[in-house]
Amino acid sequence: MNQQPLDPLPDWDPEERPRIPGSPAFVKHSPGRRLAYGLVGLLVIPTSGLGTGLVAANLQNIQGHLGLTQSEAAWLSAVYVMFNASANLVLFKCRQRFGIRHFAEAGIAAYVVICVLHLVIADYPTALLLRAVAGFAAAPMSALGMFYLMQAFPLKHLGRALCLALGLMQAMTPLAWVLSPWLASTGDFREIYRLELGMALLSLAAIVIVKLPQGIRIRVFEPLDFLAFALLAPAIALIGAVFAQMRYEWWEDNPWMAYAVIAAMAMATVAVLIEHHRAHPLVMTRWLGTSDAFRFGMGAIGMRFLLSEQSYTAPGLLRTLGMGPDQLQPLYAVIFAATIAGAVISALMFGPKRILAILGVSIALVIAGSYLEHSATNLTRPHDVYLSQLMISLATGMFMGPLLLMGITKALARGTDHIVTFSVLFSLSQGIGGLAGPAVLGTYQLYREHEYSAVITAGLDPADPQVTQRIKLYQGAYAKTIVDPARRDIQARALLAQVATREANVRAYNDASLLNSLIAFGFLFWTFASDIFRVLTGGVERAGRLTRRRLSVARYRRSRKLRTHPQ
């Protein structure tokens, strides 16, 4: 493959030269220029992540306006994640081939077009198509926001800048929930698309005025790259679709899920066989089979899985208890502030020797936060989960930067051609982990809710004086509105059944939080298993050496005694 630059290169200093083709040079800027880059980064990062958060936060409004079922509405968020996760298969090479500047302008221009189409087309099939294209178009914007923010920092602080940029990306979902009540107050769900369009236009103008430094362009595409993409992208999308719908459709009753998994495995297998025998593969399959890549991939999926608790258990419990977006707004403000604080803490603590420590603290915070939420009751309100959600939010802001840098280091140790594989592995792990977490916790919560409902309903004996008293109490509540005693009795019993279902849901959400805490504890042990084993084996070896030393000293003293006092 031709690795010669396609353009004449400026006279960069060695430390300014782009680390890999497709990335901008990190030249020395004036303070004013650094400030401009930082402001553009702080604009582009919300533009890339706020849109999907707003759709997720306003999904019920969109569902009502379009007349959708809950399962149909879930596809609007699912297709975005599916296409966003598969986009990095080719986007990194697009940056290397066409240059970071053209890549930036084309990426945001495509996003602007999608936002405009959202405003003029409102039917469900077209909305699905547009969310899918938006997921693909938003993928380059995440990288752009990161590059712009990194340009605002000196070279020696690039690692800290990366931690800060990635932490800010995690904060966009809670920010969307904070803004949603104000946007929903107009009654028009397209307000979220107008906000998306406005931010996209501002970002487009900003990157045209404040351009990134030149990078290195090389020829990287081969014909088989497109075949690999045509096989891997649908495979990733099918797996994402299964995880996205597991919360709403029971997999045993929907054979299409099994067929989707089989088709995904078949396409992925063919793609791996093709890539494994190429001289310059799109995906480095040999590296993916190493222990380093496996541990990184499983670690990235595990962290995203654990942190998805924040988007399901506590908010889901509070919504079950009747809390609406207005009541949840202060909670999401706490989550947003704590996520930003976690990103700042991670940036300040960052160092090659502290990466594992930061990850360990993040997992410990998830364990503690999830455990605190497993004792909720029907009287739990948003302020009762501030502390637990603050802990989990700190972990969300802290973990991403160190995890990404640890993976990049392992990939670059193998060569710059492994970066595409790393980008795919990382984005796929975050997409699949983010979908798998709510899917698994939601399935478990539903299963436990059915179990608790059966137990509670079986215990509602009409002959029990407490049950009879509760029914009479509910009948009294309907006395002024329902004259017929028989109808009052039916309504009272229906209300009692709703209370039983609510209590079953509360217990089920508690079990889901406890399960997440136990999984996090196991994940913490797995993360540091090699270190624990090394410490334990080191202790055994030291004890053995000490025992052998004592035995040798005892034998020496015995021999001295025999020589001094012969029998």
Cβ atoms within 10 Å, residue 278: 15
Supply the DSSP symbol for 185. T
Number of alpha carbons in the 13 Å side-chain half-sphere of residue 41: 25
Question: What CATH number has the domain bearing residue 40?
Answer: 1.20.1250.20
- Look at residue 387 in the predicted model and tell me its pLDDT: 92
Secondary structure of 393-407 in the HEC alphabet?
HHHHHHHHHHHHHHH
Q: Which of 182, 205, 220 is the C-terminal boundary of a domain?
A: 220
Between CA 68 and CA 52 the distance in angstroms is 18
Whether residue 172 is found in the same domain as residue 296: no
Residues near 76 by beta carbon (within 8 Å), at least 6 away in sequence:
55, 59, 62, 127, 128, 131
Closest CA relative to residue 161, chosen from 410, 401, 403: 401
- Look at residue 526 in the predicted model and tell me its pLDDT: 83
Which amino acid would we find at residue 7? Answer: D
Whether residue 320 is found in the same domain as residue 444: yes
Point out the residues of the chain with pLDDT beneath 50.
none
Structural domains counted in the chain: 2
pLDDT in tens, 447-461: 898 888 888 888 777
- Look at residue 184 in the predicted model and tell me its pLDDT: 77
Whether residue 163 is found in the same domain as residue 285: no
Does residue 252 lie in a domain region? no
CB of 512 within 8 A of CB of 444?
Answer: yes
Does residue 533 lie in a domain region? no
Please give the residue range of the domain that contains residue 362: 280-528
Question: Which pair of structure tokens corresponds to residue 47?
Answer: 């533009």
CB of 121 within 8 A of CB of 130?
Answer: yes
Does residue 540 lie in a domain region? no
Residues near 386 by beta carbon (within 8 Å), at least 6 away in sequence:
331, 334
- Look at residue 543 in the predicted model and tell me its pLDDT: 56
Calculate the CA 420 to chain-centre distance: 20
Q: Which of 175, 205, 220 is the C-terminal boundary of a domain?
A: 220
- Burial grade of 115 (CB within 10 A; 0-12, 13-18, 19 or more): buried
pLDDT in tens, 411-439: 777 777 777 788 778 877 887 888 788 88
Does residue 109 lie in a domain region? yes
Whether residue 490 is found in the same domain as residue 379: yes
Secondary structure of 34-98 in the HEC alphabet?
HHHHHHHHHHHHHHHHHHHHHHHHCHHHHHHHHCCCHHHHHHHHHHHHHHHHHHHHHHHHHHHHH
Beta bridge partners of 24: 215
Does residue 111 lie in a domain region? yes
What does the DSSP assignment read for 189-218?
TTHHHHHHHHHHHHHHHHHHHSPPPPB---
Whether residue 292 is found in the same domain as residue 165: no
Question: Which pair of structure tokens corresponds to residue 206?
Answer: 């900003």
Does residue 432 lie in a domain region? yes
CB of 208 within 8 A of CB of 112?
Answer: no
Q: Which of 494, 509, 528 is the C-terminal boundary of a domain?
A: 528
Whether residue 54 is found in the same domain as residue 189: yes
- Look at residue 254 in the predicted model and tell me its pLDDT: 81
